[in-house]
Structure 1
């Protein structure tokens, strides 16, 4: 078949128009996808937003523990001196919305600090003893004397053992099958402890944030947050750490970012707790006598 110039020219023009339109559409789509990708990858500024606070009735509250099985918060109140055996310390029960349910759920303690739950019992450090409390009744079922202990502080559990720190003897102990054992020594001013994924123990001391091996040896993850108090493990690369004076940090891939500073208000940030399903950080304010909840974004 023969084509005349008149019949061929419009065909060329039509093909060119189609190609041009396709290129334009492709460019627009690519630009939109590129813009969408940039928007999706834009980093979120880490921070804490105030949600609620309890009435100021939790005297010298040092730690908060969220117990998922009962959807309840346990708060340890020193009330007297942090190393005085005065029998005035207590544990309170608080709702996850900040209502004080039982101010004096457990009484007669001395200076209760770190808490953890294992086998339906709450374990609380109390100067030189580890106290075991039945969650169902609030009764003290056992008190373990820790030989040589001076200032027991934080506690955590992997479901088989209860690990707890002594800040003044620089030691991590653990309870297993009714016996007290030593896990690690020479951990200067060791305080915050938390079990992460895979049963790995993490801790905060004067050197920084540490990841412990099963034999008590360790690797330093971060050296910025020294002298930390409370510790939360979000995953193997992400942590929240508090300093008692009023600072909270988000540690990601070894780098620390301060996300709260209440030092000017003289509001302490002691042994923090966490509600994982809602990303809520629970802050015991010590001398302010209340627990404050914050929404975490990161």
Structure 2
């Protein structure tokens, strides 16, 4: 309804009095508070922003492991052929700001790939062996030959066992009390492994992202990110998975979102690492011979 006559002064006074009485009796709400209540912050778009890169001196680096105990990044450099027992592979130590501290902290390996820490030792997969390195000294203290192994890849630990994958025999093994056991077989092209809360094992293979039960059975959490390489667990429903060719995905509540693509630059994204307190994803670039650090938003 529309009125053509202008309101009288008395009319305006009455309206003002009524409004004043109402606001005086009820809770006070300013315009600023009303606007603030109406505005909700938009959620952050998931993504990765480059922070730093090391010098290109880490030859065919395949894996990065951040060790919270000493604040060091350990980098596995294949250097020669990825399946050749040539003795030219190495492990480097890098600071969390990208400075190469010791280029050849450990040398004489073949084609080192996945790494994990248990009982003050760095465990590294090396084609058909699992190698234990003393973190304090850099000395190789034990080498475990894995019968029938062809292409050992990623590694992870729950504090009692070291789990590791063989991509070409489609097998997950584990080391416990000095003995090698088989955890799961027929896991096609199994690569990335990571232990989550409660000792639950997760893995990446040709079928996607899997959550394993204690008997080696599994359920598929996401079937989009197939052929994954590195795996990070943010919480029980949130993961980061990399594909070697240059793609990194955020998997949240079963849905995958690509958050990095460096395929055009031909910069690989192999077995990624993570600094949890700073939300930094560590990317080994393989043929680019450097580690790149990215700030993660999700």
After TM superposition, the score normalised by the length of structure 2 is 0.92
Is residue 177 of structure 2 the alignment partner of residue 177 of structure 1?
Answer: yes
Given the alignment of the two structures, is residue 142 of structure 1 paired with residue 142 of structure 2, yes or no? yes
Q: Tell me the alpha carbon deviations over residues 198-232 of structure 1, each in whole angstroms, 9 at most, x when there is no partner.
A: 11110000000000111111111001100000000
Q: Which residue of structure 2 lines up, in the alignment, with residue 263 of structure 1?
A: 263
RMSD: 1.9
Give the aligned partner of residue 6 of structure 1. Answer: none
Q: How far did 1:20 drift?
A: 5.5
2:20 counterpart residue number: 17
Q: Which residue in 2 is equivalent to 1:285?
A: 285
Residues 224, 22 of structure 1: CA spacing in aligned structure 2 closer, same or farther, 3 A cutoff? farther
Partner of 1:247: 247
Cα separation, 2, equivalents of 1:111 and 1:17: 80
2:35 is paired with a residue of what secondary structure? helix
CA distance in 2, matches of 1:59, 1:272: 16
Matches within 5 A, 1:1-298: 14=17, 17-19=20-22, 25-26=28-29, 28=31, 31-36=34-39, 38-39=40-41, 42-298=42-298
Give the superposition deviation at 1:120. 0.1
Q: Output one character per residue of 1:217-269: Cα deviation in whole Å (capped at 9) or x when no partner.
A: 11110011000000000000000000000000011000001000000000000
Counterpart position of 1:7:
none
2:20 partner SS: helix
Deviation at 1:66, TM superposition (A): 0.2
Residues 28 and 144 (structure 1), Cα distance of their counterparts in 2 relative to 1, 3 Å cut = same
Question: Greater helix percent: which structure?
Answer: 1
Structure 1 position 15, deviation (Å): 5.6
Distance 1:297 1:196 in 2: 21
Alignment deviations for residues 138-184 of structure 1 (CA, whole Å, 9 cap, x no partner)? 00000000001000000000000000000000000000000000000
Aligned equivalents of 1:17, 1:285: Cα separation in 2: 67
* Counterparts of 1:26 and 1:282, CA distance in 2: 48
SS at match of 2:258: strand
Give 5+ residue unaligned stretches, structure 2: 1-12
Larger CA deviation: 14-23 vs 218-227: 14-23
Q: What is the CA–CA distance in structure 2 between the aligned matches of 1:31 and 1:58, rounded to whole Å?
A: 56
**3-state SS of the aligned residue for 1:57?**
coil
**Alpha-carbon distance between aligned partners in 1 of 2:244 and 2:17, rounded to the nearest angstrom:** 74
- Aligned pair count reads 286
- Going from structure 1 to structure 2, the CA distance change for 1:19 and 1:271 (only over 3 Å counts) comes to same
SS at match of 1:257: strand
Q: 1:17 Cα deviation (Å)? A: 3.2
Partner SS state of residue 22, structure 2: helix
Q: Distance in 2 between matches of 1:169 and 1:126?
A: 15
Distance 2:177 2:242 in 1: 31
Note the C-alpha offset of 1:13.
8.0
Shift of 1:19: 1.2
Q: What TM-score comes out, normalization by structure 1 length?
A: 0.92
